[in-house]
Amino acid sequence: MTDTNTLTDRYVAAALHSVPTAERDDLERELRASIADAVDGRVEAGETPPAAERATLEDLGDPAHLAARYLDRPTFLLGPAYYFTWLRLLKTLLLIVLPIGAIAAVAVDLLDGMPPQRIVGTVVTSVLAIGVHLTFWTTLVFVVLERSGAKNARPAGAKGVPSWSLDMLPDVARRTTGVAELVVMIVGTVLFAFVVIWQQQVGFVRDDAGDPVPFLRPELWGFWIPALFVLLAVSVALAVARYRAGRPTGTLVLAGAALNVVGWTAALVLLLRGELVDTRFFDRLDVTAATGDWNVVYQVTAVIIAATVLWSIVDDVVKWRRAARDAG
Amino acid sequence: MDEVTAGHLQELRRGTVVLACLVLLETPGYGYGLLERLNEAGFAVDANTLYPLLRRLEKQGLLTSLWNTDEPRPRKYYRVSDDGRRVAETLRADWDALRASIDALQV
């Protein structure tokens, strides 16, 4: 050691650099006195001074750990006071935001005119990036809470952080909306969105030049198909909310019905006005001649769709009434 | 000693150091001196546990402190406060009650 710094100097500096200045002088004097006392004790017991200094400091252990104890700071990132709140919130956020993000990414890429094989890549990257950001920032907020408010106001009190209550228990017996239903709904919606994109970009019907002939009229990309993606995202959010509630609630049933009515009314109006389906698609398949008048086909389809939508709304209302009766 | 036993022993002893400090500091004492007295009295405490503990008890108002600069090496002396004395009495009463409960288990 050619340095003028002794081991003790270096140890004290390492232990106290994170201590607020107001406290540091007092703490440094005390710590130095304690170390010197311990070294003296060991020297009296027959150790050489350098060995005694080393042994004393090794006894005190990692200076970062000692500093944390002095400051009464947690030596973990996220403790038990916030762990479960953090976990619940993060799960909810990821379940809601990731599907919406995926759909939004697809929509943006399509508006940019990106080819479908590249869209898959950018969607995966976007979803990963959203997931990482969401997780990081949520966790960071909780870590800050842990280090600031946590010391004085443990679990229940901290502002804005919901504490656990009996009302949060999932309703096991009456749960009518399972996780499987939710996953099927989300996967189904995402697949549907992909099919809508795929039929435009790739399709399975080609014209003479080998270009795809879409099923839906290309003009719909101007407004209607982006609007459809927004509706799909909202319906995913509703399904998640319904899963979280464990059963359909009045608000959710109403919102779902409204969504169905808005979406399908728009689709039916477009269909009946001949603005939804690209008839060239059927021309290429040689089915036009067999069907004759398109208006009849549209009207029959419209009646079937309207009946299906009506039935699904009635089914929802029945489920909701039953759940409400069981709960009441 | 295996890890499980060591862990449980540590849990069991955790609060006793506080009580011992509050009782011993009826006579003023400084960090290293108190460490020696505790070890002699049969409380196995580490320096890196005791020193932060003393400052925490002082912040909680259970100990008061005073720098003694009369000696060549200035030392910070701690002494139990009235609040500290009351807490010590409560802790000791609880310790006695626990002791009685545990003894009663062995019937």
A114, A115, A116, A202 from A111: Cα distances, Å: 8, 11, 12, 16
Q: Do B31 and A33 touch (CB under 8 A)?
A: yes
User: d(Cα A110, Cα A200) in Å, to the nearest integer?
Assistant: 10
Please indicate if any CB of chain B lies within 8 Å of the CB of A10: no
Q: Which of A5-9, A60-64, A208-212, B85-89 has the highest mean pLDDT?
A: B85-89
Residues in chain B with CB shorter than 8 Å from the CB of A72 are 52, 56
- Please give the pLDDT value at position A236: 86
Distance from CA of B106 to the nearest CA of A (A): 35
Please indicate if any CB of chain A lies within 8 Å of the CB of B27: no
- Please give the pLDDT value at position A170: 65
Distance from CA of B95 to the nearest CA of A (A): 26
Q: Reply yes or no on whether the pLDDT at A19 is more than 70.
A: yes
| Average pLDDT, integer, range B47-70 | 92
User: d(Cα B67, Cα A113) in Å, to the nearest integer?
Assistant: 76
Helix, strand and coil percent figures for chain B, each rounded to 5? 65, 15, 20
The residues facing A212 across adjacent strands are A206
Structure tokens at A275: 């603005």
- Please give the pLDDT value at position B86: 95
| Average pLDDT, integer, range A87-97 | 85
When the pLDDT of each residue in chain B is averaged and rounded to a whole number, the result is 91
Please indicate if any CB of chain B lies within 8 Å of the CB of A72: yes
Residues 6+ apart with CB under 8 A from B71: none
Scan for tokens 């009235």, then name that residue: B82
**Residue A221 has what DSSP assignment?**
G
| Average pLDDT, integer, range A196-210 | 77
Residue from the list A38, A66, A69 with its beta carbon closest to the beta carbon of B32: A38
The residues facing B76 across adjacent strands are B67
Q: Reply yes or no on whether the pLDDT at A3 is more than 80.
A: no
- Please give the pLDDT value at position A152: 44
**Residues A113-155: pLDDT tens digits?**
777 777 788 888 888 988 898 898 888 888 887 777 654 444 4
Q: Reply yes or no on whether the pLDDT at A287 is more than 70.
A: no
Query: Nearest to residue B24, comparing CAs of B4, B45, B2?
Result: B45
User: d(Cα A241, Cα A254) in Å, to the nearest integer?
Assistant: 13
Distance from CA of A63 to the nearest CA of B (A): 9
When the pLDDT of each residue in chain A is averaged and rounded to a whole number, the result is 80
The percentage of residues in chain A with a pLDDT greater than 70, rounded to a whole number, is 86
- Please give the pLDDT value at position A321: 81
Structure tokens at A51: 């060995």
**B interface mutation test: which of A30, A53, A66, A75 has the most B CBs within 10 A?**
A30
Identify the band that residue A33 occupies on the pLDDT scale cut at 50, 70 and 90: very high
Phi-psi region of A205 (alpha: psi -120 to 50; beta: other; left: phi over 0): beta
| Average pLDDT, integer, range A305-323 | 82
Please indicate if any CB of chain B lies within 8 Å of the CB of A59: yes
Please indicate if any CB of chain A lies within 8 Å of the CB of B106: no
Nearest CA in chain B to A41: B32
**Residues A158-180: pLDDT tens digits?**
445 556 677 777 665 555 556 66
Q: Do B47 and A59 touch (CB under 8 A)?
A: yes
Please name the amino acid found at residue A197. Answer: I
Identify the band that residue B95 occupies on the pLDDT scale cut at 50, 70 and 90: very high
Residue from the list A29, A33, A69 with its beta carbon closest to the beta carbon of B52: A69
- Please give the pLDDT value at position A215: 82
- Please give the pLDDT value at position A156: 44
Structure tokens at B76: 């910070």
| Average pLDDT, integer, range B25-47 | 92
Residues in chain A with CB shorter than 8 Å from the CB of B32 are 33-34, 37-38, 41
Q: Which residue has the higher pLDDT, A72 or A164?
A: A72
Distance from CA of A51 to the nearest CA of B (A): 18
- Please give the pLDDT value at position A286: 63
Q: Do B52 and A37 touch (CB under 8 A)?
A: no
Residues in chain A with CB shorter than 8 Å from the CB of B57 are none
User: d(Cα A87, Cα A77) in Å, to the nearest integer?
Assistant: 14
Please indicate if any CB of chain A lies within 8 Å of the CB of B52: yes
Please indicate if any CB of chain A lies within 8 Å of the CB of B69: no
The percentage of residues in chain B with a pLDDT greater than 90, rounded to a whole number, is 71
User: d(Cα B87, Cα B99) in Å, to the nearest integer?
Assistant: 18
- Please give the pLDDT value at position A155: 45
User: d(Cα A67, Cα A28) in Å, to the nearest integer?
Assistant: 11
Residues in chain A with CB shorter than 8 Å from the CB of B56 are 72
- Please give the pLDDT value at position B26: 93
A17, A25, A233, B32 from B76: Cα distances, Å: 21, 12, 65, 10
Query: Nearest to residue A110, comparing CAs of A185, A187, A199, A186?
Result: A199
Q: Do B75 and A66 touch (CB under 8 A)?
A: no
Q: Which residue has the higher pLDDT, A63 or A284?
A: A63
| Average pLDDT, integer, range A16-41 | 89
